[in-house]
Amino acid sequence: MQAIDTHARDAFPAGVFLGECHFGFGLDLHTRNPGAAPAAYAIGLPLAGDLRVTLAASEVHAGAGEGVIVDPAEVERARVSGGSHFVEFHLPKSEVLRLAGAWTPATDGRAPRFAPHLSAQLAPRLLFMAAQAAHVLQTPGQPAGLRMLFQRWTEMIALTLLHEQHVDNTLARRASGGAPAPASLRRAIDFIQAHADGAIGLADIAEAACISVSSLLRHFQAHVGMSPYAFLRTVRLERAHEELTRGAPDDIRDIALRWGFQNASKFSRAYHEQFGERPSDTRRRHAG
């Protein structure tokens, strides 16, 4: 592993790490260290080859051009294919939590729990931002100035994740103003969760919540950070995932249809986007 060097160690927070790795051979690491890097997320971005990370409750796979974001304390196993080349960096949780207060719903004082798979649309931009942060650290200057520049790049990475990456432990309150989520939003969420297997639309959700469609859209954007349809889609994918992890005998196409996906290939793509693996991969891992 070749860590990105810096001449000014005082210019960045403790625990921050940026590195670039080349593996001419496959690597399979078995580890479970609850005390590992508790203050940072680990982000891995394969440029070649692929990376598989087994967490306590799931496995995420990233090929070239994709990526993963995980809590190192939850990693049980990491496998890297031969000929792999990837960039790894750590992002302080404190920075993300600070920005989450103004950007996304609060998470009961906990750092956001991001969906572990980074898409081919998001990963390259995070790679670019990490490279720019590394460049800042290698630029001659005063430590105070370097610290400020590095923090701005760290903020950009964190805000991009908060804006575009699904967060699992949200849905309490939006910190802009500190107001709790309204009861109508809770009713809408309860209705979606109770009827996720049915043909429901915006009008149905709004009627169940006793608000207008425009108010429904506004509440979801302000407190959940996504549209009602996007939330419904997430719930449906999670239900399908639960069935597959339980070893449901149904055909994957039937599971997709049951949870509102008429096209099996679109279901597979959406599933991979959320869980970092294909539905068939989940079924195979939990078979028997």
Instruction: Give residue 210's pLDDT.
Output: 94
Looking at CATH, the fold of the domain delimited by 2-164 is given as Jelly Rolls (2.60.120)
The 8-class DSSP code of residue 181 comes to P
Residue 249, pLDDT above cutoff 90:
no
Instruction: Give residue 205's pLDDT.
Output: 94
Instruction: Give residue 47's pLDDT.
Output: 92
CATH 2.60.120.10 in the chain, residue ranges: 2-164
CATH 1.10.10.60 in the chain, residue ranges: 183-285
Instruction: Please give the average per-residue pLDDT across 106-127, as a whole number.
Output: 78
Instruction: Please give the average per-residue pLDDT across 120-132, as a whole number.
Output: 88
Largest CA distance in the chain: 63
pLDDT band at 173 (very low <50, low <70, confident <90, very high): very low
Residues 45, 64: Cα–Cα separation, whole Å = 8
Instruction: Give residue 6's pLDDT.
Output: 36
Residue 275, pLDDT above cutoff 50:
yes
Instruction: Please give the average per-residue pLDDT across 84-101, as a whole number.
Output: 81
CA 191 to chain centre: 25
Q: Is 96 helix (H, G, I), strand (E, B) or coil?
A: helix
Q: Are 108 and 65 in contact (CB under 8 A)?
A: no
Residue 171, pLDDT above cutoff 70:
no
Q: Which helix or strand (DSSP H or E) is residue 152 part of? A: helix 143-164
Residues 105, 83: Cα–Cα separation, whole Å = 40
Region of poorest pLDDT, from 120-129, 198-207, 210-219, 243-252: 243-252
**What are the CB-based long-range contacts (under 8 Å, 24+) for 212-220?**
215/184, 216/184, 216/188, 219/181, 219/182, 219/184, 219/185, 219/188, 220/185, 220/188
The pTM (predicted TM-score) of the whole model is 0.58
Residue 215, pLDDT above cutoff 80:
yes
Residues 249, 267: Cα–Cα separation, whole Å = 18
Strands (E), the chain: 2-3, 18-23, 27-30, 40-48, 50-55, 59-63, 67-70, 75-80, 84-92, 117-118
Residue 203, pLDDT above cutoff 70:
yes
Q: Are 114 and 96 in contact (CB under 8 A)?
A: no
pLDDT band at 247 (very low <50, low <70, confident <90, very high): confident
Q: Which two tokens stand for residue 138?
A: 């290698």
What burial letters (b/e) apply to 244-270, b meaning 16+ CB within 10 Å?
Answer: beeebeeebeebbebbbbeebeebbeb
Beta-bridge partner residues of 19: 3, 88
Quote the mean pLDDT of the chain: 79
Residues 2, 43: Cα–Cα separation, whole Å = 16
Provide the angle, in degrees to the nearest 10, between the axes of the packed helices 183-194 and 202-209. 130
Q: Which two tokens stand for residue 66?
A: 């994709």
Q: Are 43 and 91 in contact (CB under 8 A)?
A: yes
CA dihedral 64, 66, 71, 76 (to 10 degrees): -40
Highest CATH level, class, for 183-285: mainly alpha
Residue 12, pLDDT above cutoff 80:
no
Residue 105, pLDDT above cutoff 70:
no
